[in-house]
């Protein structure tokens, strides 16, 4: 390799543009990644990071723009061309065949001939080499489904290296890892960099960017807004670049008047489908007339906590009490009857049936309520009238209960959910990511409603990855990290304090 070639950047993206229908996912992106560096790309959910990387890996075609690898323009038509251009990708959701061995997964697509036998021998040898060179230790004969998540990720990295990748893209690699596993990953990435590989790390976690990258680029709403040397920037600057100079959210609210505890969580532990502990021995109370916010980086157990309280996930152990009555493992319908309302994090898959008409969604979960019919029958007139009232009160547009829910904008969809859950006058309200993908006007409206609920003496539990939102709304803030509540703060605690706690650095 000539010295001259070495100086050329590993990747140059010039004017990359991509639309999905009405969504402008990438706007005129320019990016240069130096050879032998770890380059972070940071941005909020939906900022366009994954789309950009999918274009680089040949999953999508850019509408416009050019990709240059080591200075030479390359047309990446599919994953095959990306692989031959020396690009490897570790996807957020692992692309592994679960009932295959590590070896089989590594070989898939790079078998070295029609028959497997010769390939198996050389793959074994190559894996051994990769293991000694980079410290990527995985038993080649282990079945994927029997490996812990961290090892599965190492298999993904091995797959890329086995195909001769010089450039490795990792999409939110630590989302599923424990802190110890994440540290292990970072050590591997450093070794890879020191051996001359180029690494692109996509994440929305500031801690990781600061800990490991050499350079960082920030994306916001489909645009590349800045690139900095990591040493020369700060968490604060990056955070500001990520969210933009957004109008500071100020919610008018008076002092809280907390009453008796309505919702209590005691030593709650929740595991996911794989048996990984997502919520680890968590205890807290939510009193009448207060908003308790749960802050944390996405994937630290907040979602699972919320779903367990809402009856969607079965707790592994511990208690959930409503008014002192144990309700752990009780189904959502009974919880609603006890006065627990739930604005779920994911309105598309949980809060709404997008193919339903608006009025049909206005009763989801409350469809057995006597006011919506007699006996087993639904009273559509009553439901539509009710829906129209909510539409008027919440200014849902267009004001048409017969319109398919999928045809409403994000903010209006969210208002449909909020109206349904709040207008039932519940005693307790669970709120997950209330303003994700919602326009500014609707954000203010929804925030006001949540505060009104508090002032009416309801117990509100708020989960959000938007720290601003948590600070603006909450009376008390619990910070979650790696499944545990690592501390409690008042909303006037500094952003930096909370940020450090969310990163698991200080309690």
Task: Tell me how far, at minimum, the Cβ of 97 lies from another protein, in Å.
Answer: 5
Q: Is 335 in the site for another protein (CB under 8 A)?
A: yes
Q: Is 18 in the site for another protein (CB under 8 A)?
A: no
Please name every residue paired with 463 in a beta bridge, in sequence order, or none if there are none.
Answer: 294, 432
Tell me the window of 39-47, 263-271, 401-409, 466-474 that interacts with another protein (CB under 8 A). Answer: 401-409
Q: Is 341 in the site for another protein (CB under 8 A)?
A: no
Q: Is 403 in the site for another protein (CB under 8 A)?
A: no
Tell me the window of 195-203, 276-284, 308-316, 491-499 that interacts with another protein (CB under 8 A). Answer: 308-316
197: left (phi over 0), alpha (psi -120 to 50) or beta: beta
- Determine the size of the site formed for another protein (CB under 8 A): 68
Euclidean distance between CA atoms 439 and 435, whole angstroms: 8
String of contacts with another protein for each residue 350-389, x by CB under 8 A: xxxxxxx---x--xxx-xx---xx--xxx-x---------
What letters, b where the CB count within 10 A reaches 16 and e where it falls short, cover 460-478?
bbbbbbbbebbbbbbbbbb
Euclidean distance between CA atoms 336 and 367, whole angstroms: 11
Which of 49, 91, 205, 436 forms a contact with another protein (CB under 8 A)? 91
Task: Tell me how far, at minimum, the Cβ of 165 lies from another protein, in Å.
Answer: 12
Is 416 within 8 Å of 352 (Cβ atoms)?
yes
Neighbours of 339 (CB within 10 A): 17
Please name every residue paired with 460 in a beta bridge, in sequence order, or none if there are none.
Answer: 291, 429
Neighbours of 457 (CB within 10 A): 15
* Among the listed residues 103, 200, 169, 199, the one whose alpha carbon sits nearest the alpha carbon of residue 142: 103
Task: Tell me how far, at minimum, the Cβ of 3 lies from another protein, in Å.
Answer: 31
Euclidean distance between CA atoms 162 and 156, whole angstroms: 10
Token duo for residue 265: 């969580």
The secondary structure of 136-187, three-state, reads CCCCCCCEHHHCCHHHHHHHHHHHHHHCCCCEEEEECCCCCCCHHHHHHHHH
Task: Tell me how far, at minimum, the Cβ of 310 lies from another protein, in Å.
Answer: 8
Task: Tell me how far, at minimum, the Cβ of 402 lies from another protein, in Å.
Answer: 12
Q: Is 43 in the site for another protein (CB under 8 A)?
A: no
Return the biggest CA–CA distance within the chain.
81
Q: Is 488 in the site for another protein (CB under 8 A)?
A: no
Q: Is 273 in the site for another protein (CB under 8 A)?
A: no
Task: Tell me how far, at minimum, the Cβ of 365 lies from another protein, in Å.
Answer: 4
Which of 34, 116, 149, 243 forms a contact with another protein (CB under 8 A)? 116
Tell me the window of 15-23, 33-41, 196-204, 232-240 that interacts with another protein (CB under 8 A). Answer: 15-23
Q: Is 80 in the site for another protein (CB under 8 A)?
A: yes
Question: What single DSSP character describes residue 506?
Answer: -
Q: Is 261 in the site for another protein (CB under 8 A)?
A: no
Q: Is 420 in the site for another protein (CB under 8 A)?
A: no
Q: Is 315 in the site for another protein (CB under 8 A)?
A: no
Which of 154, 207, 220, 342 forms a contact with another protein (CB under 8 A)? 342
Q: Is 141 in the site for another protein (CB under 8 A)?
A: no
Tell me the window of 112-120, 193-201, 239-247, 277-285 that interacts with another protein (CB under 8 A). Answer: 112-120
Of residues 54 through 73, those in contact with another protein by CB under 8 A are 57, 59
Task: Tell me how far, at minimum, the Cβ of 487 lies from another protein, in Å.
Answer: 30
Q: Which is nearer to another protein, 30 or 80 (CB)?
A: 80
What letters, b where the CB count within 10 A reaches 16 and e where it falls short, cover 270-307?
bbeeeeebbbbebebbbbbbbbbbbbbbebbbbbbbbb
Tell me the window of 263-271, 345-353, 452-460, 491-499 that interacts with another protein (CB under 8 A). Answer: 345-353
Q: How far is CA 183 from CA 188, 274, 286, 424, in A?
A: 9, 22, 35, 46
Task: Tell me how far, at minimum, the Cβ of 115 lies from another protein, in Å.
Answer: 6
Task: Tell me how far, at minimum, the Cβ of 237 lies from another protein, in Å.
Answer: 31
Task: Tell me how far, at minimum, the Cβ of 393 lies from another protein, in Å.
Answer: 22
Q: Is 110 in the site for another protein (CB under 8 A)?
A: yes
Element (H, E) at 249: none
Q: How far is CA 406 from CA 41, 352, 358, in A?
A: 31, 9, 9
Is 215 within 8 Å of 230 (Cβ atoms)?
yes
Q: Which is nearer to another protein, 75 or 506 (CB)?
A: 75
Backbone angles phi, psi at 267, to 5 degrees: 50, 40
**What residues contact 155, with CB distance under 8 A and at least 6 apart?**
94, 96, 102, 105, 106, 138, 144, 147
Q: Is 332 in the site for another protein (CB under 8 A)?
A: yes
Of residues 191 through 250, those in contact with another protein by CB under 8 A are none
Task: Tell me how far, at minimum, the Cβ of 96 lies from another protein, in Å.
Answer: 6
Euclidean distance between CA atoms 448 and 391, whole angstroms: 17
Task: Tell me how far, at minimum, the Cβ of 484 lies from another protein, in Å.
Answer: 26
Is 311 within 8 Å of 335 (Cβ atoms)?
yes
Is 298 within 8 Å of 175 (Cβ atoms)?
yes
Q: Which is nearer to another protein, 79 or 227 (CB)?
A: 79
SS3 for 333?
helix
Token duo for residue 176: 């599923």
Task: Tell me how far, at minimum, the Cβ of 7 lies from another protein, in Å.
Answer: 29
Q: Can you give the binding site for another protein, defined by CB under 8 A?
A: 19-21, 57, 59, 78-83, 89, 91, 93, 95-100, 104-105, 107-111, 113-117, 119, 159, 310-312, 331-336, 342, 344, 349-356, 360, 363-365, 367-368, 372-373, 376-378, 380, 404, 406-407
């Amino acid at each position: 390799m000539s010295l001259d070639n070495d100086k050329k950047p590993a990747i140059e993206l010039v004017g990359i543009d991509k639309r999905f229908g009405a969504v402008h996912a990438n706007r005129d992106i320019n990016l240069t990644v130096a050879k032998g560096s770890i380059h972070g790309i940071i941005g909020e959910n939906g900022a366009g990071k994954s789309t950009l990387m999918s274009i680089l890996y040949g999953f999508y075609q850019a509408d416009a723009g050019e990709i240059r690898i080591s200075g030479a323009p390359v047309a990446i038509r599919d994953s095959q061309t990306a692989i031959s251009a020396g690009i490897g990708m570790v996807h957020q959701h692992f692309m592994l065949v679960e009932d295959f061995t590590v070896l089989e997964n590594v070989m898939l697509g790079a078998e070295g001939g029609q028959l497997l036998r010769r390939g198996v021998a050389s793959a074994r040898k190559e894996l051994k080499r990769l293991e000694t060179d980079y410290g990527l230790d995985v038993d080649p004969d282990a079945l994927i489904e029997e490996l812990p998540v961290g090892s599965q990720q190492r298999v993904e990295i091995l797959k890329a290296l086995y195909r001769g990748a010089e450039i490795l893209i990792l999409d939110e690699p630590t989302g599923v890892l424990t802190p110890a596993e994440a540290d292990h990953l970072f050590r591997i990435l450093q070794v890879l960099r020191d051996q001359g590989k180029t690494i692109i790390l996509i994440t929305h976690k500031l801690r990781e960017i600061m800990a490991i990258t050499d350079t960082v680029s920030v994306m916001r709403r489909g645009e590349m807004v800045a690139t900095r040397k990591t040493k020369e920037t700060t968490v604060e600057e990056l955070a500001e670049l990520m969210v933009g100079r957004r109008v500071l959210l100020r919610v008018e609210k008076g002092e809280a008047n907390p009453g008796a505890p309505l919702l209590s969580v005691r030593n709650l532990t929740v595991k996911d489908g794989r048996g990984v502990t997502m919520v680890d021995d968590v205890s807290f109370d939510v009193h009448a007339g207060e908003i308790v916010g749960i802050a944390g980086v996405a994937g630290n157990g907040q979602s699972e906590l919320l779903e367990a309280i809402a009856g969607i996930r079965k707790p592994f152990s511990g208690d959930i009490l409503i008014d002192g009555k144990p309700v752990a493992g009780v189904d959502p319908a009974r919880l609603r009857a006890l006065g627990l309302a739930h604005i779920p994090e994911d309105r598309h898959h949980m809060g709404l049936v997008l193919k339903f008409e608006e009025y049909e969604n206005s009763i989801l979960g409350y469809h057995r309520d006597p006011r919506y019919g007699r006996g087993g029958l639904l009273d559509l007139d009553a439901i539509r009238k009710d829906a129209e009232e909510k539409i008027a009160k919440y200014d849902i547009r267009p004001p048409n209960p017969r319109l398919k829910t999928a045809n409403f904008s994000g903010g209006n969809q969210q208002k449909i959910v909020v109206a349904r859950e709040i207008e039932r006058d519940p005693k307790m309200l669970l709120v997950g990511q209330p303003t994700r993908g919602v326009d500014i006007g609707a954000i203010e409206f929804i925030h006001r409603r949540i505060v009104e609920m508090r002032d009416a003496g309801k117990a509100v539990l708020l989960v959000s990855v938007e720290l601003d939102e948590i600070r603006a709304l909450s009376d008390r803030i619990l910070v979650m990290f790696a499944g545990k509540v690592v501390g409690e703060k008042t909303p006037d605690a500094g952003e930096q304090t909370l940020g450090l706690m969310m990163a698991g650095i200080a309690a």
